[in-house]
Structure 1
Amino acid sequence: MAYPFALSTLRNAALALACAAFSACSYVLLPPNVQHVAPPSKSLAEADRKLADATARRAAIEAEFAASEQVCYGKFFVNNCLDKAREKRREELAVVRSIEIEAELVQRRAKVDERDRALAETLKEDKAEAAQRAANPRPPREDEAAPPPKPIAPRANREATNAAKLKGIAEKEKAEAGKRAANVAAFEKKRQESERRQAERAKRQAERQAEKN
């Protein structure tokens, strides 16, 4: 009883291997125990075409599945019909996905190769420019000349400047000393006035006490 299934499996596998050599047979269904292997793309243009075809094929599969659903709802064994339609859709989408994966891999490799080529070209140009600058150094421009050194002041000028600074410091100290002396004098005057008032109050209190006695 197992021979018909085995023969069917072998026929499907042989058909898949034959179709792998021809891109026109990319969407042949395989039995559940055989995984679809997309034929390798020979160029980036072929990978782009495969992705476009896969997009169209995916839309067609979804449309076919939607139509099959409507047919199944009119049958007596609805669930059995829907299960078969879903399984067919799953198998067809698996084939489409395998083709998309292979084509997308080719696209990614092409982008990486292009980026590497651009980077290598940039490095090559940078090295060439560096070698050219080293071989032909640019002479300094007139406006890039070093600034002249600051003139050193004569000793007499330095001494006069220092003397002026010291004089300013002394005058500042004198002014602050005068302020401090004025503050001390004001404080002493207030203290004496306070003592005088206290003495007068004590005298008046003593006189009032004597009058009472």
Structure 2
Amino acid sequence: MKPEPILRSAILAAQTITLSLALAACAGPEPVPRETPPPPVTSVAQADQQLAAVARERAAIEARYAERERVCYNKFFTNNCLDEAKDTRRRALATQRAIEVQAAHFKRQAVVEERDRAMAEAEKRFQAEEARLAAQPAKPAPEVAPVPAPRKSTVPARVAERDARLREAQQKEAAGAAKRASNVRAYEKRKAESEERQRRVAERKAEKAAKAAREAEQKAKAAQPK
């Protein structure tokens, strides 16, 4: 055998061994989750617990995937390592999604069944009440009291009475005004007569005083010596 074929065979064998080691290193210790059906749900409380567990597991899956990415970037065959990490993440998320769908469906179904039970119970109570009312004897019709005759309106009478009082008040006011005017005229007349009497008395007093003055003057002249 010639040296060149032997050298090529050795190089090919070395490359094969290196590739196998790299693939083994890229696979890593992370187990690949198997797609198993989710556990059955038997109560709303269990469904709530499963939904909470799904939320926690999703966060853990994303954390493991981020850590796996960091490891893959240090590997020789980075793309193969990343592809496997993505596939592992996808299958793990699919498992959690199946659990989530089943739990959510159970809760929706529980709500529908509870609503149906409530409606059936309400219908049952309604039918029982209808049967009870139908079994009771009919009540006699209530007596209708006779409707009293409408009373005559008292508005016209009240209006007439008001108008009469108003006319009476106006007449009294007119009579009072005439009396007051007559009293004023009588007062003015008495006042004028009183003033006339006072004037006449004053004139008589003035005449007497003038006469007395003349007589005194005459006596004084007569008493003077000639």
Relative to the length of structure 2, the TM-score reads 0.44
Relative to the length of structure 1, the TM-score reads 0.46
Q: Which protein has the larger Cα radius of gyration, Structure 1 or Structure 2? A: 2
